[in-house]
Amino acid sequence: MTRYCLLLPMAALATSCAVAPPAEDPVLIKLEEIDRRLSAVERVLANGSLVDLTIQVDNLQRESAEMRGRAESLEHEGEVTAGRQRDLYVDLDERIRLLEEGLLSASSNVSVMDGGSLAPGQLPVPGGSDRDNYQAAFELLKQQRYEPAALAFQQFLVSFPESQLADNAQYWLAESYYVTDKFEEALAQFSIVINQYSDSRKVPDALLKMGYCNYELERWNDARAALARVQSEYPDTTAARLAAQRLNRMTEEGH
């Protein structure tokens, strides 16, 4: 319909002009050109090529906008993540610094106790936590400074009776007596481990050391009873293996 609406006024224009041979009439030539162009447009519209191209262009423009939005979003998320990582690094660095300061403080407090100068009732790390004081007392024991170690563990048990490290502290207090050949004192302290901390992992070792103490005190029956108990109640442990070795030794010695 559009095509013929365009052709009608042009045809009227042609009739008003002087008659010319059809092959040379400029109006007809123009009309034929327009007709060819309209036909080409019709063919494009008929096969949908232009429509497809338009749709493809729209899709590409939409996808481009989406990609741009995603890129901006990712850039923003990257900046947020980087900021969080910086905050975590700062926090971690601060926590490590405080830990290092605490360790240095504990070390300096332990180093003050030269010559076994720790007094009864004095904590190795005054004002420190139970873990700080336990580590300080244990360090004294490793340094073979048994008297201040015993004092440190004694005061630890007085100051932190509910600590989760109390059973360990009790065991090492007994050990500080055992290694200095104070077998009666050691025997009493090892028995506290067994009686007051029955769920402790130190019980097999404490029972073994009770056997050792009785052995040193030449209480052969008590020694055998303690060592046999380690074997029966805590088999497949290092303490049970050591108990068997001491029992064999007692047999060879005729005890």
Write the DSSP string, 118-132: PPTT--SSTT--HHH
Residue 7 has pLDDT above 80, yes or no: no
Residue 4 has pLDDT above 50, yes or no: no
Looking at residue 124, its pLDDT comes to: 87
Instruction: With cut-offs at 50, 70 and 90, classify the pLDDT of residue 180.
Output: very high
Which helix or strand (DSSP H or E) is residue 11 part of? helix 2-16
Write out pLDDT tens, residues 82-117. Answer: 566 666 656 665 666 566 555 545 444 544 444 446
Over residues 21-33, the mean pLDDT reads: 62
Closest-CA residue to 150 (of 105, 127, 182): 182
Looking at residue 230, its pLDDT comes to: 96
Instruction: With cut-offs at 50, 70 and 90, classify the pLDDT of residue 218.
Output: very high
Looking at residue 211, its pLDDT comes to: 96
Write out pLDDT tens, residues 131-179. Answer: 999 999 999 999 999 999 999 999 999 999 999 999 999 999 999 999 9
Instruction: With cut-offs at 50, 70 and 90, classify the pLDDT of residue 38.
Output: low
The amino acid occupying position 116 is G
Instruction: With cut-offs at 50, 70 and 90, classify the pLDDT of residue 126.
Output: confident
Domains of the chain and CATH, by start: 120-253 (1.25.40.10)
Question: Could you give the CA distance from residue 123 to residue 106 in angstroms, rounded to a whole number?
Answer: 11
User: Cβ(37)–Cβ(26) under 8 Å?
Assistant: no
First to last CA, the chain: 128
Question: Could you give the CA distance from residue 45 to residue 49 in angstroms, rounded to a whole number?
Answer: 7
Q: What's the mean per-residue pLDDT of the chain?
A: 77
Looking at residue 154, its pLDDT comes to: 95
Instruction: With cut-offs at 50, 70 and 90, classify the pLDDT of residue 10.
Output: very low
Over residues 191-219, the mean pLDDT reads: 96
What is the rounded (10 degree) CA torsion for 243, 247, 250, 254? 170
Question: Could you give the CA distance from residue 215 to residue 225 in angstroms, rounded to a whole number?
Answer: 11
Closest-CA residue to 111 (of 155, 148, 74): 148
Write out pLDDT tens, residues 57-74. Answer: 556 666 666 676 766 667
How many angstroms from the chain centroid is the CA of residue 208? 38
- If you count DSSP H runs as helices and E runs as strands, how many of each does the chain have, helices first? 10, 0
Looking at residue 6, its pLDDT comes to: 43
Distances (CA, A) of 212 to 81, 116, 173, 187, 222: 61, 27, 16, 9, 10
Distances (CA, A) of 23 to 7, 14, 75, 146: 18, 14, 68, 129
Please classify residue 132 by burial: count the beta carbons closer than 10 Å to its beta carbon, then call 0-12 exposed, 13-18 middle and 19+ buried.
buried
Which residue reads 């580590």 in tokens?
A: 135
Structure pTM? 0.56
Over residues 217-230, the mean pLDDT reads: 96
Residue 8 has pLDDT above 50, yes or no: no
SS in 3 state form for 82-151?
HHHHHHHHHHHHHHHHHHHHHHHHHHHHHHCCHHHCCCCCCCCCCCCCHHHHHHHHHHHHHCCCHHHHHH
